[in-house]
Amino acid sequence: MAEVSAFIRNMPKAELHVHLEGTLEGDLLLVIAERNNISLPFDDPDGIRRMQNETKTGLTNNLVNFLRCLDICREAMRTAQDYYDTAMAFVRKSAAENVVYLEVTFDVQQAIRQGVPLAECIEALSRVRREAKRDYDIEIRWIACFQRDHPVQNAMETLNLLDPHRDEIVGIGLDNFETPNFPALFAPVMAAARDRGYRLTSHCDVNQPESLAHIRDCVDLLGVERIDHGLNTAQDITLVKKIVSQRIALTGCPTFHVSMTSAPSDRVEMIRTLFDAGALISLNTDDPAQFGSGYLNRTLAACQAAAGFTDEDMIRFMRNTFESAWIDDRARSGYLERLDRFRDTSARAVS
Ligand code: HPA
Ligand code: ZN
């Protein structure tokens, strides 16, 4: 396990690809499951991570196994209070890591399916956003994610239900399995979301069937500005040039599927290739409670150690994060200046 350096610890940080449900730690999961009368297949806080790591198999199966385990957590969330408690726990963790800005995804259809009134759910998230700013000086923006393994019609209906809450949601994403033909299938929903002014992203998980075609179609058919993961881009030089020239951001997650050791080498190599090619790639945690691969500091440290990135490289990754964030130019300049000041101060301290 890579040590977290003072440099990484003290850097003002942000992340853009993290699922609220994937931040639900085992101890809080037990509390939430008990108050909702839900029985879990384990009774200790480490149960979910154990299950995640024990059911890891082949590369492609990893996503299936991962989502099955994640379902155990996200299916336990039945009230707006569950969303509030989970989100506040994540805010407190992020504050301890010197995180200053977060874009957090939540599976809105899942909340509705599980009986959480949408207005209450959004109000809980709104309260978290305000309290994170007031108590920790962390800026949060919420991304509502639609699940690709549920009917596209349901995504469209959910988009309509979000209309009264438009101001609380910055963007729309797509997650869960990559069903065949998914980019084309979801084009009408994403077009409707764009018409309403939402920013757009979509998952293209690592090493999935048709990864390259899906990445291309997400850009060309869905018009996304970011791809969550999208690392397979590195395997096609034409696609690399396309995402660099169109400034499509990739939210990489180096330690996904890692159990307490280090970042897997194929991911790290793809991240290195994309970084060296000048892609707007950032480093993120995805589902930090699920694998024991840690929150942002440990994720950055593991990736830095595995790929031999310098501290200056890590600053560039964090610049990429702020460059890809869905904020206005004034806020962006503020964060970038803060990062520059940190870099200059650290350089002076070393020299
Ligand atoms: N991929 C797809 N669905 C997800 C993920 C992911 O990385 N995390 C949570 N839901
Ligand atoms: Zn994700």
Instruction: Using the mean position of ligand 1's atoms as its centre, give its distance from the Cα of residue 308 in Å.
Output: 27
- Which residue, among 349, 220, 311, 340, has the nearest Cα to 5 in the 3D structure? 311
**Ligand number nearest to the C-alpha of 257:** 1
Q: Ligand 2 being an ion, which residues bring their Cβ within 5 A of it?
A: 286
Residue holding tokens 């590195």?
234
Phi, psi of 97 (to 5 degrees): -100, 10
Q: What is the pLDDT of residue 180?
A: 85
DSSP string over 242-298: HHHHTT-EEEE-TTTT--SS---HHHHHHHHHHHHTT-EEEE--BSHHHHS--SHHH
Residue 56 binned pLDDT confidence (cut-offs 50, 70, 90): low
Residue 262 domain-assigned (yes or no) = yes
Residues 6+ apart with CB under 8 A from 336: 319, 322, 323
CATH number at residue 151: 3.20.20.140
CA 220/CA 173 separation, integer angstroms: 16
Among left, alpha and beta (phi > 0; psi -120 to 50; other), residue 262 is beta
Residue 216 domain-assigned (yes or no) = yes
- Which residue, among 246, 235, 313, has the nearest Cα to 274 in the 3D structure? 235
Q: What percent of the chain is predicted at pLDDT more than 90?
A: 83
Question: Which structural domain, as residue segments, surrounds residue 321?
Answer: 6-350
Specify whether the CB–CB gap between 232 and 211 falls below 8 A: yes
Residue holding tokens 């978290």?
128
Residue 314 domain-assigned (yes or no) = yes
Which atom in ligand 1 lies closest to the alpha carbon of residue 177? 2
Residue 1 domain-assigned (yes or no) = no
pTM of the model: 0.96
- Which residue, among 104, 121, 115, 102, has the nearest Cα to 165 in the 3D structure? 121
Check pLDDT > 70 for residue 311.
Answer: yes
Lining ligand 1 with CB less than 6 A are 19, 22, 70, 175-176, 203, 205, 286-287
Nearest 5°: the CA angle 200, 179, 254 is: 60
CA dihedral 130, 135, 138, 141 (to 10 degrees): -20
Residue 246 domain-assigned (yes or no) = yes
Check pLDDT > 50 for residue 259.
Answer: no
Q: What is the total count of domains within the chain?
A: 1
**Ligand number nearest to the C-alpha of 201:** 2
Residue 267 domain-assigned (yes or no) = yes
Question: Whole-angstrom distance between the N-terminal and C-terminal Cα of the chain?
Answer: 28
Q: What is the pLDDT of residue 62?
A: 75
State pLDDT tens for residues 64-81.
Answer: 888 988 999 999 999 999
State pLDDT tens for residues 18-53.
Answer: 999 999 999 999 999 999 999 999 999 988 888 887
**Which has more confidence, 302 or 123?**
123
Name beta bridge partners: 146.
174
Structure tokens, 337: 């200046």
Residue 136 domain-assigned (yes or no) = yes
Residue 280 domain-assigned (yes or no) = yes
User: Across the chain, what does the average pLDDT equal?
Assistant: 93
